[in-house]
């Protein structure tokens, strides 16, 4: 087995461990909370740093655009996309507040946020999750490495059973795709792929 094959096998092993740890059921529960909130006229906000910021944007793009079925756009926002807002907040308040300040301005009671952090210990992600909780939002999280502090802030935290960031991120985007599919199915029916 070459190195590439070994890494694919390790990725598969982490996903199988996630299933064994009840991850599939957690994703189903998360999707239900998102779909119910969106059906009731609330919004869904997603955020994270680095690769997790890219995942947040990816998930938002699938739900604003479409994932597997033609349907209306959904009100989903990635908080890592407005560089003017992020850099102004980082400059004026500090990087630890780049997401919390946006949560303070946008998130309302009944909305849902998805905080993504491979370690669960990203200060800016945790501050935003705590702010969302205090505002009455439903706080979901994707994490790994035991969940860190984020697992204690979130209402539901999908903790990928790995300490390796790339394996965690691979599982996060798999979970994000499943979440998008389940939200679409719940809101718009089972037609599609």
- pLDDT, one tens digit per residue, over 150-185 is 999 999 999 999 999 999 999 999 999 999 999 999
> Are 27 and 160 within 8 A, CB to CB?
no
pLDDT at position 192 over 60 = no
Q: Could you tell me if residue 11 is inside a domain?
A: yes
pLDDT value for 191:
56
- Domain with 80, as residue range(s), is 3-188
pLDDT tens digits, 101-131: 999 999 999 999 999 999 999 999 999 999 9
How many structural domains are present in the chain?
Answer: 1
Question: Burial of 4 by CB count in 10 Å (0-12 exposed, 13-18 middle, 19+ buried)?
Answer: exposed
> Are 180 and 38 within 8 A, CB to CB?
no
Q: Could you tell me if residue 80 is inside a domain?
A: yes
Q: Could you tell me if residue 193 is inside a domain?
A: no
How far is Cα 56 from Cα 79, in angstroms, rounded to an integer? Answer: 8
pLDDT value for 131:
98
How far is Cα 15 from Cα 82, in angstroms, rounded to an integer? Answer: 32
CATH number, domain with residue 103: 3.40.50.10490
pLDDT at position 1 over 90 = no
pLDDT tens digits, 14-63: 999 999 999 999 999 999 999 999 999 999 999 999 999 999 999 999 99
Instruction: Give the mean model confidence (pLDDT) for residues 66-89.
Output: 96
Provide the token pair at 5.
Answer: 């094959």
pLDDT at position 86 over 50 = yes
Which band of pLDDT confidence, cut at 50, 70 and 90, is reported for residue 193?
A: very low
Q: Could you tell me if residue 62 is inside a domain?
A: yes
């Amino acid at each position: 087995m070459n190195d590439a094959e070994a890494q694919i096998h390790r990725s598969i092993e982490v996903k199988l461990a996630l299933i064994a740890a009840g991850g599939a059921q957690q994703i189903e529960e998360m999707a239900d909370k998102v779909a119910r909130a969106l059906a009731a006229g609330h919004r869904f906000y997603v955020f994270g740093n680095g690769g997790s910021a890219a995942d947040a944007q990816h998930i938002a793009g699938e739900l604003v655009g479409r994932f597997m079925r033609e349907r209306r756009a959904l009100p989903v926002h990635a908080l890592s996309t407005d560089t003017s807002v992020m850099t102004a907040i980082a400059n004026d308040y500090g990087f630890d507040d780049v997401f919390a300040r946006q949560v303070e301005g946008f998130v309302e009671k009944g909305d849902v946020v998805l905080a993504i952090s491979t370690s669960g210990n990203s200060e800016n992600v945790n501050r935003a999750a705590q702010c969302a909780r205090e505002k009455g939002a439903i706080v979901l999280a994707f994490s790994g490495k035991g969940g860190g502090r984020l697992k204690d802030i979130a209402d539901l935290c999908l903790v990928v059973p790995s300490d390796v960031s790339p394996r965690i991120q691979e599982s996060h985007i798999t979970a994000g795709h499943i979440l998008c599919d389940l939200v679409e199915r719940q809101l718009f029916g089972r037609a599609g792929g």
